[in-house]
Every structure is written in C-alpha cells, then in structure tokens.
Structure 1
Amino acid sequence: MKWFQKSHIIFSVMVFLMIGLISYFGLLIIQYPLIGIDVEQRNGNWVVEQVYDKGWAARNPIEKGDIVQLINGIDPDEHKTVARFHYLEKAKSITIIDQQAYTNTYAVSYTSEDIQLIIYLLLPILFCLSTFLLGLYFYYGKKEEKNSVMILIAFLFSLGLCYLSAPASARADLIGRITVTMTFPGSLILLIHFLKNYFQQYHLYFVKGSSIKRLYIAYFLLLIALSSNFLFGKIHSFMRMVELGFFIFLVCFLIFLLTRLNIRHKNSEGKVIIQILSTAFVIGFSPFVILYAVPHIFWGRALLSAEITSMFLLIIPLAFVYLQIAEKLFDIEFLLGRLQYYALLSFSFTIFSTIILALTFKIRFISSSAFLFSLFVFIGSILFLYIKEFIDYRMRHHLFSRKNHVESNLYTFFQKTKHETKVERFIEKLMIEVKEVLRVREVHYLKVEESKDLDTWTVQNKRTFSSTSFINEIEQVDWKNCHPGLLIEVRTGFCVVIGENHQMKEVIFCGLKKHKTTLNIQEKIWLKNIAYFSSILLENFQLIEGLFKEIEHYHKKKQVENDSYPSWLSRLLFSLSEKERMNLSIDLHDTILQDQFQLLRDIESIEIKITDPILKNELYLIKETVLDNIHLIRETCNELRPPFLNELGLIQSIQNLIKRVKLSSNFLLHAELDSTIQKIKPEYELTIYRVFQELLNNAMKHSKASVVKISLKNKDEGLILTYLDNGIGICMSELNDSFKTMGIYGIKERVRCMGGEIEIESAPNNGFKVQIIFKQGVN
C-alpha cells in the first residue's frame, strides 16, 4: 500500500509536469515563429552571422552581414536570447540595417501557408500527446510490476517532452534548452533500464545493473558539461557534437544488447518478443541516427530535419502496447524475410527513378536532394509491396473469377482427387481440370517412348486421336532430359511431363487458347505445379495398383496351389493388423473405459446419500459389476496392445502376461525365461509376445490341460521357444487354416514371415507340443 501511494505521488507529479510543459511549449511555439538568425557582436553592433533555411528570416530580405538595430523596439543587448545564446528568437518585430544602409522594420508572424505550424507545432503536439496517453494506459492498465511500469512511463514522457521541447529549444528558450538537454539522452537510458527489468521478468539476462549505473553517471557528467555551457554563453558546436555522439553510442549499445539477447535465446519461446522489439528499435532510431545525427556530426548539415526523423520513435511505445494487448503475435520472421525480398525489388526501381530524376531536372546524382528522393522512393516501394500483398489476400477472391484464380484451383483440384486410387480416373480428372482452368481448345494424354535406336521418340497411343497434327511436333522433341513438371512449348500448344518410367514419358498436351493466344506467366506456373504434384500422385497410384495386383496374384496362386503368402506380404498384413489392434485399444480406453469410471463415481456418490440397506446392497452389486467390466476392458486393451513392451522389454512383458494367465487359468503353468536374454531386435519382440499370448490363450480355451510348460531360451544368436501341455491334443489335419483368425495357422504365419522355423506335434488325447526356432533375433 505504501509503495502504491509512493508511485501514485510520483506519477501525479510526472503528469502535472507533463501537462504544464506541454501547455508552456505549445503556447510558446504559437506565440513566436522560428526566426532562424545567428548573430555576433562586432564593433558594438549585433551582426547577422547566419540565416537558417527553415526559419522566418529565410523568407524575408535578411542576409548575412546585416545589422540588427532593434528587437521589439529595444536595444538587442537587452533581448535575452541574443544576450544569452546569440540567437535572435522570440521577437515580434525586428529593425534591420542592410548592407546598403537602408533601415527596415519587419513584423514577425506566421503566414497562412506557413509549414512551421505543422512541423514545429502540430507534429510535436500529436507525438507528445500520444506518449502521454500511452503512459496513462500503462499506469492504469498494468497494476502489477509497478517498478518497471514507472520506468517505462518515465521513458514515454521523456521521449514526448524531448520532441516537443526541441522547437522551443530552437527558439532559444531556456526551459526548452534544459528540457531537451535532459530528455534527449536520458530517454534512451530509461529505455535500457526498463528493458533490463522487462526481460528479467522472463528470466532473460539483458544487461548488468552496474552497466546501468555507469550510463547514469555518464549522463549526469554530460548534463553538467552542457549546462555550464548554455547557461553562461552560446553552446559551442563541439558540445552539440558530443551530445549527438553520446546519443548514437546509446543507440548502438542498445542494438548490441538486443542482438546479443537474440543470439542467446534464438530457440526460446521469447524469441518473437525479442525480434519484435529489436525491429521496432531499429525502425524507430535509424532515421534519426542515419539522416540527422551522423550527417550533422560529419558534414555539419542533416539530410532530414530532426522533427521528421524523430516521428519514427513513436513506433517504440506502440510496440510495447502491441505486446501487452495482443493475444497472438505476428510472424516477425516472415515479415523480415519478405523485407529482404521487397528491398531487392525496390532497389533497382529506386536507382532507375533517381537516374531519371537527375537527368530530367539536372540534379547531381550524388546530392542530398537525390538521396532524399531515393530514400522516399525506396521506402515507398517496400510499403507498396506490403500493401499489395495484403490487398491480394483480402480481395483476390472477389476480384478474380474462379477460372482465372489458378492458385485456388490448384488447391481445389487436389482436394477433389485426394481419395482417388485409379490412375486412369486421376488422369481423366487432370485433363478436365487443365481444360477448364486454362480454357484451351484440346487436352490429350500421351505416352512417349524412346525408340530402340535411342535417337527418336514415338507417341505410343497416337491411334486414339482423331487429329494428329500435333503428333509430329511432339515426336521431334528430345524427351531424354525432360522430367516431371517441365513445360515444353511447341508451335500448336504446350506439353508438360507428368510421369516417367524407364524409357517412357507420360505427357499432357494442351493446345492454344480459344483465340490462339499463348499461356500467361501465372498459367504456366500453375501448369508446372499441377504437373509436378500430379507426378508424385501418379507414382504412388502406380505403386498401389502394382501392390494390389501382386496381392491378387498371390491370393489366386494360394487358392490353386494351396501355397503360402510371401513373407513380406505376411509381415505387411500383420503390421496392418497390429495397427488396427492399437487403434481399437486406444478407442476402448478413451471412451468405454472412461465411461465406466464415470459410472463408478456416480454410483459411489449415490451410495453415500442412501441409508436403506436393501438399496445399498443392490448398489453394491451394481458397483461390483462395473468393476468387473472395468477389469475386463483393461484386459482386452492389454491383449490388443501389449502394455509397456517398448518400455519394459520382452522378458518383463512376458512375465506380466504369465502372472495374469496364472490368475485366470485352472492349470499349473511352469514358465522358464532365459535371464541372459537382454536385448532383442524390435521386429522380433512383438512376434514372440504374440506367439506366447496365443499359445497361452489356446491352452486356457481349448487344451483342457492340467499342466502347461513354456520356455524361451537363448541359443547362439537365436531364440528357441518351447510349449508343452498334457491336454486333449488335436489331429494335425484339423489345424485351423484360416488367416483371418489368430489360431495355430496364425502362429505359423507369424513365425514364417520372420524367417523362423516351427514344429508341431500333437495327437488326440496325447497333449500338444510346439517348438519354434528363430535363428536371428538377439542383438
């Protein structure tokens, strides 16, 4: 509470000070136009030393060397701005003796078309009010972390006052001079201080506290040097260079800190925040540093005024507002990538435009005017490209018809054909799509094959076409190095490769448009893209069709010759079966099992409220039934999907299986698992587990045995699985021969597809014995 009261008092003082200074500087700028005259005292007279281009004096016949006789009707020695700073400002009237000894009195005032009111009053007032309102927003909208917020508010107020006090300082106002001197470098130090606390909240190191202290010490030393200079005399140009140099150093230091932070945390979740702030600071400070500060230091003249370049600083507080209110951050990396692309496009246009301007108006190509023109054209071109991209996204669906909107057609086509599996049907749909979108007269599907002499190509399906005028052109093309997606232009149309196989190319030929016009660039790109993606689909379709034909061949061969499926096919089918088992297990666990748990909780909640013993007993029986169902569903899920097979390994999983069987079976189970078996190849683990599972299930359901023995032993680099029971046995000719069930035939198929050997011995009333050998399996 005490801290809140303290911060409230500080904030109130800052607000009143801000309002007072805004009012004072605003009235000062309205009352006194910027005159723009430097004077020097010579032989007892005040002589015009320099007339600035942007001041009132530049529009009047006042020249260097003229003598200032009176200011506001009094001697110039008594005018404060002249006596203190050697600037002729804050005057309503001026009496000048020109070099021809003529005396002229001028009334100083704004004109109706004076741009000073915009540059030195309207823009600074708007900027300052914006920072003031943002400060209010942060104070009342951010209740936590008051220490960081107060520093941010101080930065915003300081930035706004710096901008507004600059015109007052130019009018040689003492309060304006003091304000701009304090806020110009001070606002940047406050920003660095705030960023230290801001990133510290996210556990990101930005800068040491000792470095902040050193910056404040350097700042106060600079203030002492500057104040001793302008309080007692004219500010030397050297001290102004020192002030600008210190500001440039702070900007470079800030960019260095942000770059270091970005490199250290480029893979962290906060990288987007760092990139957004870095971009905002670069855009905000670069115009002032590049176009004003650096040229002013080295050449004594800025390329663009401080009032214009400082407007970009408003981007910085707006970036903080965006980070506070945005639920989702925009993709800054995408925008920066686009910036590189757009800058490359704009650069050539800018150079061309500057050359045309220089030749037309006879302006030196290397001059400040040409540079400013180039800068505005370059930035304007980039902004235009960004705006165009946004407008294309928002309005393209309305500006173009479906037939011309080829990007949308590309997406729609593959959506329509994603479930297609027949090659002929896909090619037919592709030809229809090409004809509708490109509006060409004819579309044909061709098979072009290389001749045996390896020099010519022949269209194999030429007999299917009624018109063969285009066939000769296609056969003259050397298709050897033509790959899917490549567009070939012939006299009567276009060819695009959609598939290739050994010495044969699959080609789509489309004629010219209805008015015999060629394809435009957008249509060519669309045709290349749809051909390339279609080639991938066609290749997959052909593989699937080949697989189906091969499976059908083996199925017919099996029916005729009573042969087995090849091992690769069995492995594929078992893999698909296991996937379906896993999906079914997940569905049972996530739906029915969870419903049973919810039903159990509902029964328990009702049971607490009931006092009738008969109803309690009935609820107890229902509860037990639900528990049995839960247990049964869990067991089913475990059978469908071996629990923790990958995590526990094969041996531990089999031991868990044996424990469950012992609890539910009515025979003695002797299991022997070789302890030397540590690591088994993954492809063998599931097969062995399923064989164990099926053998024990058969023992419980069909064997009627009293004793069952099962073992798994290590032999060389292989494994031996042995099963033996004293049950009723089975006639060998009656073994289940259906692949659809997990009977003995299923066990035989699993073992065979993994390259194992299986021997089965059984007879009626003489038990059942199985021995399985995997010659490989142990890593």
Structure 2
Amino acid sequence: MLFLGDYIFSAIVVSPFLLLIPLSLVYQFMSNKIYDIEFLIGRLKYYSFLAIIPTSIIITILGLLKHQEGEFYTIKITVFTYLIMLGVFYLKEIIDFRFRLKRFSEKFNYQDSIFKFTQMIRTFTSLNQVLLELKQAILDVLTVSQAHVLKVKNDGTISLLEGETEDYPWIPYEKEVSKVIAEIGKIIEVDRGFLIKIGERGGTSYVMLCLSMLNTPRLTRDEISWLETLAFYTSVSLENVLKIGELMEHLENVKKEGPNPAWLNKLMFAIEEKQRSDLARDLHDSVLQDMISLKHQSEMFLADFEKDKVCTSQIQQRLINMNEQMSNVIQTTRETCQELRPQLLYDLGLVKALSKLVAQHQESSSIRIRLNTERFSKVLDLDTQLNLYRIVQELLNNAVKHSKAHEILIMLVCIKEKVVLHYEDDGVGFDQDKLYQNKTGMGLSGIRERVRALDGNLEIKTAEGKGFRVIIEMEL
C-alpha cells in the first residue's frame, strides 16, 4: 500500500504468515545454526543508526530543490532512501570482507592488514618467515620505503636479520635502539621514521627500523595502536615458533635414542609393575584364600576319614560344601578375568558389556540397578568405549563397597554431538570437600583421569546422607 497504492494480498491471507517471522527468529536464536542473531541485530542497529544521517541530508536537499504534492510522498521517499542507504552500508561490509586479502591498495588499511598478517603467520614454522611477513605488512600499509629487522643482543651488539643486504642502516640511531628494547611494542620516533621492538627470544631482542625517503610526520594514534598490535602478535608467534623448534629438537633426540627412549621404557615398566601388583593383590585376597580354605578342609576330611570318624551323610555334606566353594572360586576367577579384559566389550560393544556388568552386580548384591542406553547409538572408538566401561565399573564397585545404596540409575545417552554418562544412587554420600582425598577409598581420582583422557567434563554432586551423582559429558 505504501509503495504501490494498492494491496497485493488481502489481510486475511497475509496475517497467518506473519507468525512465521517470530517463530523463525525464535528458532534461529535457540539453535544458533543458521544465523548468529545477536550479531545480526547488533549490525542492524549500527547500520540503522548510520543510515539516518545521509537519509536526512538527502531528503532535506530534495525538499529544497523540488516540492511535489501527493499523498504519502515524503514518507515514501524517506523510507525508500533509508532502505537504500541501509543496503549500501551492508553491501560495503560484504565487499570489505570478500576482498580483505586481495585489495588493490593496502595503504592505511589497518584492520584488514592485521587479519591478513595473522592468517599468514599461523602457517609459518621459522622465525625469519614471521619477521619478513611483518616487514612486508608495514611496507604495504605505512608510508615508509625501508624496513629493517635488527637483532640486538644483551651486550648491545646489533646485527641484521639473515637476508638483509644493506650495510649498517642502524648506525645513526644506535642510541635510540638501546632505549627501545625495554618492552614489546615500545615505539621511538626518529627523524626519518621510527623504531619498534617486535619480539624477544632468549637473550636477543628484535627491533624493526622503518625509514622513508623524506622526513615523515609523527605517527597518528591509529598507526601507533596498529603497530603495537602487530608487535604483540609477532611476539606471541615468535614464542610459538621457539616452542615448536624445541619440540622438534626433542623429537629428533628421542628418535636417535632408538625405538623406545629410556624415559618411555621406564614409564612402561612402572605401569606394568603396577598392573602386576594389582593383579597379585586381587588373586591373593580372593582366589588364593579360597583355595587355602579348601585345602585345609580336604586335609581335615582325609584325617577324619582315616580314623573312621565320619559317616556317609557327613562325607556327602562336606563334598557338597567343597563343591560350592570351588564354584565360588571359579566365579571369582571369571570375574577377575572379566575385570582385566572385558571380552564382551571387544566382541559386541559398550552397551552389551554394560548390560552384562550391571547383571553381574545385581546377582552379587541386593542393590537395584537400572541401566538406560536406549538413546545411545553413536559408534565410538575402542579406547573411548573401554574408558567409559571402566568408569561405570569403578562407580558400581564404589556403590557396592561404600554407598549402602538401595537403588542406582545409570544412563548413557547421546545429546546432539555429546555423549553423556549419568550415574546416580541414593546412598549415604560423603563430604564434597573431601572429594579426591585418598582416605575416602572411592577411587575418584582414577575416574577423573579417565575423563580427562577422554577430553570430557566431570561434575560430581554429593553430600553426607544425600546420595551420590556423577555427570560426564564428552564431545564427539
């Protein structure tokens, strides 16, 4: 009606479709997948405010030049001009973003040059590459014709970066060079340019000397801010290059030591001995004690049998008892082997292995355990499955030994791109402040380390007399 003077569709047809606007905005805001709503609204507010000024100027000029009578003429031309200006501002942002890495001229283009510089240096692996790229960025943006990278040692010795050809360009500015090395980003202006410290490595400071053919005006506030930002990025990049170099050198040394370096062999032997110790303790406390008891009963039975002190019914009863104990020994041995290597996990996967684990604990205890894995359908690698299995195993062992719980709930679900393991019991709980102390006997430190190995998040909620809850979230 505003632009054409007539309706295209009647209000009855259009009004239901108006509901799509708030519903779509709510969906976009909640999912945050199609658009970043907050960013778009912020940009719209910004450009809407900017468009007011040129629109007002244009409407004022049109009003002074020519006056046309007509219904809604001023309103129509104002709205039309305002929308055009809004579109021009938005189009300018798109063009700036598209061509930020391939502009025809980089002079005074501070923001985009920083973006280009950071995009380039993230792939560099040597100090010279980073410094030469910074040199080129300064030459492209500022009105300087020469840029030299100086290496200043602690004893005051100055030299050029490898690849520089000019001889001793710093000699007229030696006094200023000694002053600029105090801190990263410090700038000292000289007669034909400026000096700026751009990084430090070991006992060597790196200074950029920038000169022009003629005397240059003083640096503006924007130029100083831009140079300080570049110096900061360069310093961080040099630190990263240094760390990468040290790591590569260490790896080369490790490679020279042979297939397995000494420290790795030592670590592997320590882990092996720890596993041996745990296995020996488990066998000593369970299977070995039961076998000693059976041997003792057999010796007493044979002694009584030789003295004719037992009748047929007693023999039968003792054999029944011994048979039951041997069955228990066999069951204990199977459970120990299952804990050492859960074969069902390797054969049928995590869900089946957890179901079997829960069934075993329900048979050996009076705790009611509910396992919910209906919404779990992700395919995980074997290490991740094994870590999740061990976490549930440790939680159930803790519950049987310490919690005095009557009911346990375990849920393993997939929510979007996350795997969530939820454990909850109604046991006695314990003091949250003593969560990872060894004297609690809960083995939570091991669970925490496994979650860290999975790059997940661990949340534990408990209190004395209020049960125990564990929530583990892991990104896929």
Superposition TM-score tier, normalisation by shorter sequence: 0.3 to 0.5
TM-score relative to the length of structure 1: 0.24
Which structure would you say has the larger Rg? 1
TM-score relative to the length of structure 2: 0.38
